[in-house]
Amino acid sequence: MANKKYEELSTQIIELIGGKGNVTYLAHCITRLRFTVKDKGKVKDKDIGNLSGVVGVNWSGDQLQIIIGQAVDDVYRLICKNYGFESAEAINENLDGKEKKKFSFNSILELISGIVAPLIPVMIAAGLIKMLVLIGDMSGILAADSPTSSVLSFAADAGFYFLPIMAGAFSAKKFGANMGLGMLMGAILLHPSFTGAVAEGAELTIFGLPIHAASYASTIIPVILIVAVMAPVERFISRYCPQVIRSMMVPLLTVLVMVPLSLVVIAPIGSYLGVYLADAFIWLYNTFGFIGIAVIACLWPLLIMTGMHQALTPYALNSFATLGYEPIIISCSIIHNFSQAGASAAVGIKSKFADTKAVALSCATSAVVGGVSEPAVYGISLKYKTPLYCAMAANFVAGAIIGINHVYAMVLGGGGIFGLPVFISPEADNLIWAVVACVIAAIIAFVATFILYKDPIQE
């Protein structure tokens, strides 16, 4: 029955593509048929997209990509057999042009941006809800211990806490894997049994291999790395798994392979990097003084982007316990909020696109008032690059000001405007210099972004 179905599909595809004579080249990857055609006008791509068994249709220049899914090899071989095309092995799934994109820092940013872009509305909503709860508490309209405040607080927190699950879905879409399995890999990192064991310091193993105890809530890089590895594993299993049991065995074997790989090797990479990063930052501060803080502040957006800023929390807590104050992490974090707000506000004012204006100004408000910078980082800085570099430059200058004037935080606190009271100390100028640094960060980021930012040609 399956062969008859694919036989009919292969015939329909060739007819709707304009016949064999309109095809100059045929290849396939793991999920797509790739036709290079002579005359695009003869191709009825909409009709092809409506065929039973076709998931989607996409043009890349003169190449028509017909997304079939796991059965692509069966359809491809029938077309080759029936129409005399030369059969070949599957090509690289990422072959979407004549040349491969060169690996670069910008390509990494673009990859992360492409995955996180669909999550921007979630983070904006969560950040603004946090802001409303905070304003409600400060104004006395909404008591902090009221049921409504509690519900709104955990609703906002959910938008960030469950990022690994949401990022898992869009990572899978980006890498060509099953979105459900991508979500599952993110959910595994957040399962109460795992997070509870981590909190209790329990030792976990799988197949005798030790699992690194770390918290992955509100992170995206670990799940992106996991899904990047999962995608070729899933394709490999699918390729060699018989069609009759493919729907059952492919997800089962993929998960059985990925669970130990994820918890033992891949996900802990970010955690280990965070520990070494904390040590490096302490060394920078002790060795270079205010320059060290300037460098740390400059890199802060990248830490937020990767989630590694969370690895610095133990250092901050230890500093409060031993010194009674903290001179690095809290300052850099709050400076970062103001620079992101300034850069986003500049984009919001300068952009000619209504959607960009709305998103940018929402991100700016969330950063400076709500103390939540993720929407600005992912929605504006990472997407358009120029605001990111301008904010990093602003952070460097503001970080130097913090370091030169020995600004320190007395307690842990939030970000943005309402986080500034953490700098209230016996020395009156401690708070003053903190405010000065934040204002300068916002001004430099705003002015630099306003001058340098240009709307993309295609929004």
Structure tokens at 160: 């960030």
Assess if residue 458 is contained within a domain.
no
448 & 394 share domain: yes
**Residue where one domain finishes, among candidates 270, 288, 303:** 270
215 & 314 share domain: no
231 & 280 share domain: no
234 & 355 share domain: no
**Residue where one domain finishes, among candidates 211, 240, 270:** 270
Higher-confidence residue of 166 and 418: namely 166
> How open is the CA angle 137-138-142, to the nearest 5 degrees?
25
198 burial (CB, 10 Å; 0-12 / 13-18 / 19+) is middle
Assess if residue 102 is contained within a domain.
no
243 & 290 share domain: no
Beta strand residue intervals within 68-226, DSSP E: 204-206, 209-211
419 & 446 share domain: yes
Residues 294-341 have pLDDT tens digits of: 999 999 988 887 666 766 766 776 777 778 888 888 899 999 999 999
CATH of the domain at 44: 3.30.1360.60
348 & 410 share domain: yes
Please tell me whether the overall predicted TM-score, pTM, comes out greater than 0.85 for this model. no
Q: Which residue range(s) make up the domain with 232?
A: 116-270
Share of the chain above pLDDT 70, in %: 90
317 & 446 share domain: yes
Contacts of 32 (CB under 8 A, 6+ apart): 58, 65, 66, 67, 68, 72, 93
Question: Could you tell me the pLDDT band of residue 95, with boundaries at 50, 70 and 90?
Answer: very low
Assess if residue 376 is contained within a domain.
yes
Rg of the chain on CA atoms, in Å? 26
161 & 277 share domain: no
Active site residues: 29
Higher-confidence residue of 85 and 61: namely 85
Higher-confidence residue of 115 and 402: namely 402
Q: Structural domain tally of the chain?
A: 3
**Residues linked to residue 64 through DSSP beta bridges, in sequence order:** 35, 59
In this prediction, residues 359-371 reach a mean pLDDT of 89
Assess if residue 99 is contained within a domain.
no
Helix (H, G, I), strand (E, B) or coil at 151: helix
**Residues linked to residue 453 through DSSP beta bridges, in sequence order:** none
261 & 286 share domain: no
41 & 167 share domain: no
Of 118-132, 178-192, 195-209, 392-406, which range is least confident?
Answer: 118-132
Helix (H, G, I), strand (E, B) or coil at 304: helix
140 & 53 share domain: no
Assess if residue 277 is contained within a domain.
yes
pLDDT computed for residue 274 by the predictor: 66
Length of the chain: 459
Alpha carbon distance, N-terminus to C-terminus of the chain? 46
pLDDT computed for residue 404 by the predictor: 94
Assess if residue 95 is contained within a domain.
no
Assess if residue 107 is contained within a domain.
no
Question: Could you tell me the pLDDT band of residue 100, with boundaries at 50, 70 and 90?
Answer: very low
Helix (H, G, I), strand (E, B) or coil at 317: helix
Assess if residue 177 is contained within a domain.
yes
**Residue where one domain finishes, among candidates 62, 83, 104:** 83
